[in-house]
Amino acid sequence: MPEPGWLPLQRADALLATLREAGYRVVGPQVADGIIRYGPLGEAAALPWGVRVEADAGRWRLRRTGEGRAFAWANGPQALKPLLFAPEETLWRTDADGRPAPQAPEAPPPTAVIGVRACDLAALALLDAHFLRPGREDPWYAARRSGLLLVAVHCTHPAATCFCASTGDGPEAREGHDLALWELEEGWLVEAAGAAGERLLAALPLEAPPAGAAERARTEVAAAAAAQTRRLPEGPLQARLFERLDHPRWAQVGERCLACGSCTAVCPTCFCHAAEERPGLDGSSARVRRWSSCFTEGHSYIHGIVLRPDARSRYRQWLTHKLGAWHAQYGRSGCVGCGRCIAWCPAAIDLVEEMEAIVGDA
């Protein structure tokens, strides 16, 4: 593997320029409408410089510090999931005679995403396992996935809601990325992983890192892991969860849960979607799939019955799937410790606390 290079922060735009020259459209995090959102990134100045995130159960706030870092925050409500598993996608159309007209999956131009976190990479691996199952690859997901280049950033400033260290997924980005940045006050230490990353690394106008930069960077990321206070109970939790389907805590959390589906919407691994028919005025029709959630009534509907009529059974479905059945389906838990569901829950429900109560005593 080539040596990491150094990009001083005042030359951050060189990263975007190199990615563009290599043929990528660049997407990155930006402050918009009071949150951090991933979208087309024109210049490095648009990155969330000098902001931190303060998060807790039911709470997510940006705080401006003015410090000279672009990635001193943990995560916003979404990162990669909407780029790959589109919130809404047309699967096929039928013409006025009812003939299916194939709709080629929309393949976006090759896209480089800057600012991907370790938890996002772990979640991506899980989405890949689900949507790219050998022999049954989802063509729509595959089309969006194929041209993706990932520039990871190792986390130095986790939010209070983060617990990726306890799930083993962060804060250091380990696999799935092409380039990785270690951010220090004065610059980025840039590392490559894989052939595409190495080509880009060679094309970047990099300098020799200042003395001790690598050690300082590693120390910061190690401190980020140590700073995390939330921890999931030691797993795997599958057997314990399914043994405790009648635990009284499910009913208690069901009383608080609004069944709004915010958790599944922000969760980077939730994959559920529903299909709907959109008839046109000319007799044609479109089959569209949209994000859905096990918190909706329709999720468990079969003619005349809703199998999960209450928040208790829906909350239990979410966590018995996420932390339990996922092991049987994909060989690991479906939770990557990003803490989004904790921060974005309007009822301030904390899955770590709930799991502690239900399966914490081993």
Ligand X SMILES: Cc1cc2nc3c(=O)[nH]c(=O)nc-3n(C[C@H](O)[C@H](O)[C@H](O)COP(=O)(O)OP(=O)(O)OC[C@H]3O[C@@H](n4cnc5c(N)ncnc54)[C@H](O)[C@@H]3O)c2cc1C
Residues in contact with other proteins by CB under 8 A are 91-92, 94, 97-100, 102-105, 107, 130-131, 133, 136-140, 142-143, 145-146, 242, 245, 271-277, 279, 283-285, 287, 289, 292, 294, 298-304, 307-308, 312-313, 316-317, 320-321, 324-325, 328-329
Residue 339 interacting entry, from other proteins, ligand SF4, ligand X, none, C-beta within 5 to 8 Å by type: ligand SF4
Q: Report in angstroms the alpha-carbon separations of 341 from 38, 295, 337, 346.
A: 18, 13, 10, 10
Nearest approach, Cβ of residue 85 and ligand SF4 (Å): 11
Q: Report in angstroms the alpha-carbon separations of 291 from 123, 178, 262, 264, 318.
A: 16, 28, 12, 9, 15
Q: Which stretch binds ligand SF4 (CB under 6 A): 2-10, 36-44, 251-259, 316-324?
A: 316-324
Footprint on residues 323-352 left by ligand SF4 (CB under 6 A) = 335-341, 351
Q: Which stretch binds ligand SF4 (CB under 6 A): 6-14, 29-37, 215-223, 267-275?
A: 267-275
- How many binding residues for ligand SF4 (CB under 6 A)? 22
Three-class secondary structure assignment of the chain: CCCCEEEEHHHCHHHHHHHHHCCCEEEEEEEECCEEEEEECCCHHHCCCCEEEEEECCEEEEEECCCCCCCCCCCCCCCCHHHHCCCEEEEEEECCCCCEEECCCCCCCCEEEEEECHHHHHHHHHHHHHHCCCCCCCHHHHHHHHCEEEEEECCCCCCCCCCHHHHCCCCCCCCCCCEEEEECCCEEEEEECHHHHHHHHHHCCCECCCCCHHHHHHHHHHHHHHCCCCCCCCCCCHHHHHHCCCCHHHHHHHHHCCCCCHHHHHCCCCCCEEEEEEECCCCCEEEEEEECCCCCCHHHEECCEECCCCHHHHHHHHHHHHHHHHHHHHCCCCCCCCCHHHHCCCCCCCHHHHHHHHHCCC
Tell me, residue by residue from 268 to 287, as one string, x for binding to ligand SF4 by CB under 6 A and - for no binding: xxxxx---------------
Torsion of CA 287, 318, 37, 145, to 10 degrees: -50
Nearest approach, Cβ of residue 356 and other proteins (Å): 22
Nearest approach, Cβ of residue 303 and ligand X (Å): 4
Cα dihedral 257, 260, 262, 267 sign: positive
Residue number with CB closer to other proteins (65 or 146): 146
Residue number with CB closer to ligand X (99 or 303): 303
Contacting ligand SF4 (CB under 6 A), which of 127, 152, 294, 355?
Answer: 294
Nearest approach, Cβ of residue 313 and ligand X (Å): 18
Residue number with CB closer to ligand X (102 or 304): 304
Residue number with CB closer to ligand X (92 or 301): 301
Residue number with CB closer to ligand X (214 or 306): 306
Nearest approach, Cβ of residue 183 and other proteins (Å): 29
Nearest approach, Cβ of residue 149 and ligand SF4 (Å): 23
Q: Which residues bind ligand X (CB under 6 A)?
A: 301-303
Tell me, residue by residue from 224 to 263, as one string, x for binding to ligand SF4 by CB under 6 A and - for no binding: ----------------------------------------
Residue 338 interacting entry, from other proteins, ligand SF4, ligand X, none, C-beta within 5 to 8 Å by type: ligand SF4
Contact set with ligand SF4 (CB under 6 A): 264, 266-272, 293-294, 317-318, 321-322, 335-341, 351
